[in-house]
Amino acid sequence: VSARTLPATRPLNKERKWVGKSIRRIEDPKFLRGRGNYIDDLRVDGMLHAALVRSPYPHATIKNIDAEEARSVPGVVAVVTGAEALELADPLPDFGPAPEKHTWRCLAAEKVRYVGEGVAAVVATSRYVAEDAADLVTVEYEQLPPVVDPEQALEPGAPLIHEPLQSNVAYERVFTFGDVDRDFAEADVVVADTGDDEDNLVVVLLSKKKSKARCIARVNNPANKTIFESLDPDDPVTVISSTELILDVLNEHVNASKYRSMLETMHLFGKGNMQLVKVAIPAQSPIADKTIAELNLPHNSVVVAIDRPDRDLEIPNGDTRLRAGDSMIVIVKNGAAERIRTLLTTP
Amino acid sequence: MNVPIELTVNGVRHQAEVEPRMLLVDFLRERLNLSSVHIGCEHGVCGTCTVQMDGKCIRSCITFTPQANGSEVTTAEALADGPQLHPLQDAFWEKQALQCGYCTPGMLMVCEELLRDNPRPSAEEVRERISSNLCRCTGYQFIIEAVMHAAAHYGEGPAAQIAEVTR
């Protein structure tokens, strides 16, 4: 299995206008002011209100509906039963497995198939009257055995919810992409190298189930390291923690204590409005052969190190003389980086 | 059969005669056209009908209108000061704390009361307080961030502004 590989990162060389920004949605103020105008907020002249009579049973045949009392309530305009709706309304679009064999209706006509399925609608001049009248509709049911468990619904002889379909299976399809089992079986090594620890964990678990291959997993959050390490004591997963890797590299290359403290300081930039920039000094640079004091840098910037080819980082002072080929590491206030770079590299 | 009531809604005094069983949510929506007060579950679970009665959040879908007699009711319509959004509304906007907007008025009323009681809540306290209201779009995290943002950026602002509206 080839784990998802991460694209190479490109340096962000300028501020972008839209990409990567949180944009305020133009439609939000109306929602925030309570002026969303949802269906329930619509008002039209002569508008009536409907209340539904709903099934209390998960599966039952409708034997009879008596709506006479409901129809006599002042303010009631109509009571429409499921059987009447067959005449008044077209079928609903059927998204089931066999639309040619089956018809969906807005109200149940012959039997109900779930608790809460509508069997009659009461229309009245107000919602209060409509709900009062809905309570007066008497429905006679004959209960049928319900199916409440998907696995039991698949068993032969399970009660059928939609008889014309001769099955309770609404949809069946197996999704197959490539010969995954063969790939696992033939693999020598399985590498889980995504930026998402959960994805990597799934790959490792799959591999342990389907393959004898050695596993190498990248762990992005060091806190997850022990999870990977404890997965298989007999054939341990080789865990590569990206955070620890970076720390190791720093440890290896930064030994002198003064640089170490500088690096610790650099971590603080994450919080503040400061930025560390590197300014290269090309051959014809106007600042080559000048001392740092002669640069007259703005007061909100400090040169903290000089990176000189083939030499260790150097901590400068005002008398340090710059040479072509050097790079200066400068701390600047945010936003001023480009200004400093221009100041130092243009004649 | 109708009963007379008198109440103040968003600073305006109203007199009306209503059926004793008329729900406050229907009174606010049907009689006063305050459509920020949404109807969701209709039985006090989802919180989208939340309004403030004398400064305290209540669910208007399980409150009879006569229960609000003599009280001062505040709805989300009263949060903004004309064109100027309430700091909480602005924070919800900034932090993407809404999508469809259906729960938003109720959320705003709950969060406004929270910040008035506790101008510097912890994220945990915000989470606890909005547990009364359901949101199906945001996963709540952005709402919590919006309230924290409002609390951090506006300080006593929300409390001071709403005090004028509800008093």
pLDDT digits (tens, 9 = 90+) for A275-329: 777 788 877 777 888 888 888 787 778 888 888 887 878 888 888 888 888 888 8
Among chain B residues, CA nearest to A32 = B89
Are B35 and A24 a contacting pair at CB < 8 A? no
pLDDT of the residue at A261: 59
Task: Name which of A22, A29, A40 is nearest B85 (Cβ-Cβ).
Answer: A29
pLDDT of the residue at A2: 46
Mean pLDDT of A204-223: 90
pLDDT of the residue at B163: 33
pLDDT of the residue at A59: 97
Least confident of A60-74, A263-277, B117-131: A263-277
Mean pLDDT of B1-8: 95
Rounded Cα gap, residues A67 and A77, in angstroms: 12
User: What does DSSP assign to residue A239?
Assistant: E
Mean pLDDT of A66-74: 97
Mean pLDDT of A20-33: 91
Which of A21, A25, A28 is best to mutate for the B interface (most B CBs within 10 A)?
Answer: A28
Mean pLDDT of A81-110: 92
Instruction: Give the N- to C-terminal CA distance of chain B in Å, as an integer.
Output: 32
pLDDT digits (tens, 9 = 90+) for B102-142: 999 999 999 999 999 999 999 999 999 999 999 999 999 99
Among chain A residues, CA nearest to B104 = A32
Mean pLDDT of B152-165: 48
Q: Which residue has the higher pLDDT, A231 or B7?
A: B7
Mean pLDDT of chain A, nearest integer: 86
pLDDT of the residue at A302: 83
Are B89 and A35 a contacting pair at CB < 8 A? no
- If pLDDT is split at 50, 70 and 90, which confidence band does B162 have? very low
Q: Which residue has the higher pLDDT, B131 or A171?
A: B131
Q: Which residue has the higher pLDDT, A259 or B16?
A: B16
Q: Which residue has the higher pLDDT, A323 or A53?
A: A53
CB atoms inside a 10 Å sphere around CB B40:
21
Which residues, at least 6 apart from A141, have a Cβ–Cβ distance to it below 8 Å? A55, A56, A57, A60, A61, A62, A63, A112
Task: Name which of B22, B96, B101 is nearest A22 (Cβ-Cβ).
Answer: B96
pLDDT digits (tens, 9 = 90+) for A177-197: 889 889 999 999 999 999 899
Helix (H) or strand (E) holding B100: none
Residue B155 has pLDDT above 70, yes or no: no
SS3 letters across A249-289 = HHHHHCCCHHHHHHHHHHHHHHCCCEEEEEEECCCCCCCCC
Task: Name which of A29, A34, A127 is nearest B36 (Cβ-Cβ).
Answer: A34
Place of tokens 């209100």: A49
Rounded Cα gap, residues A68 and A76, in angstroms: 11
Highest mean pLDDT: which of A128-132, A299-303, A326-330, A334-338?
Answer: A128-132
Residue A98 has pLDDT above 90, yes or no: no
pLDDT of the residue at A180: 86
Task: Name which of A24, A31, A127 is nearest B101 (Cβ-Cβ).
Answer: A31
pLDDT of the residue at A255: 56
Q: Which residue has the higher pLDDT, A1 or A295?
A: A295
ipTM: 0.91
pLDDT of the residue at A21: 81
Task: Residue A33: list chain B partners with CB under 8 A.
Answer: 36, 76-77, 79-80, 85, 89
Are B76 and A34 a contacting pair at CB < 8 A? yes
Task: Residue A22: list chain B partners with CB under 8 A.
Answer: 94, 96
Task: Residue B98: list chain A partners with CB under 8 A.
Answer: 28, 31-32
Least confident of A17-31, A60-74, A123-137, B90-104: A17-31
Task: Name which of A28, A38, A127 is nearest B93 (Cβ-Cβ).
Answer: A28
E-assigned strand segments in chain A: 49-54, 60-66, 76-81, 111-112, 118-124, 138-143, 189-192, 214-219, 238-241, 274-280, 301-307, 327-333
Rounded Cα gap, residues A151 and B85, in angstroms: 52
Least confident of A159-168, A276-285, B18-27: A276-285
- If pLDDT is split at 50, 70 and 90, which confidence band does A68 have? very high
Are B94 and A33 a contacting pair at CB < 8 A? no
Count Cβ–Cβ pairs < 8 Å, chain A vs chain B.
61
Task: Name which of A34, A37, A40 is nearest B77 (Cβ-Cβ).
Answer: A34
Residue A45 has pLDDT above 70, yes or no: yes
pTM: 0.62
pLDDT of the residue at B40: 96
Rounded Cα gap, residues A152 and A58, in angstroms: 15
Q: One-letter amino acid identity for A85?
A: A
Mean pLDDT of A239-255: 72
- If pLDDT is split at 50, 70 and 90, which confidence band does A253 have? low
From the CA of A28, how many Å to the nearest CA of chain B? 6
pLDDT of the residue at B142: 96
Residue A88 has pLDDT above 60, yes or no: yes
From the CA of B52, how many Å to the nearest CA of chain A? 15
Residues 125-164 in B contacting A (C-alpha not used; CB under 8 Å): none
- If pLDDT is split at 50, 70 and 90, which confidence band does A170 have? confident
Residue A66 has pLDDT above 60, yes or no: yes
Share of chain A above pLDDT 90, in %: 48
Helix (H) or strand (E) holding A206: helix A197-210
Residue A61 has pLDDT above 50, yes or no: yes
Highest mean pLDDT: which of A166-175, A245-254, B34-43?
Answer: B34-43
- If pLDDT is split at 50, 70 and 90, which confidence band does A35 have? very high
pLDDT of the residue at B26: 97
Highest mean pLDDT: which of A70-84, A236-250, A305-319?
Answer: A70-84
Given a contact cutoff of 8 angstroms between Cβ atoms, the answer to whether B125 and B87 are in contact is no
Least confident of A44-58, A171-185, B132-146: A171-185
Residue A158 has pLDDT above 80, yes or no: yes
Task: Residue A75: list chain B partners with CB under 8 A.
Answer: none
Number of continuous H segments (helices) and E segments (strands) in chain A: 11, 12
Task: Residue B76: list chain A partners with CB under 8 A.
Answer: 32-34
DSSP 3-state of A53: strand
Residue A117 has pLDDT above 80, yes or no: yes
Q: Does B37 touch chain A (CB under 8 A)?
A: yes
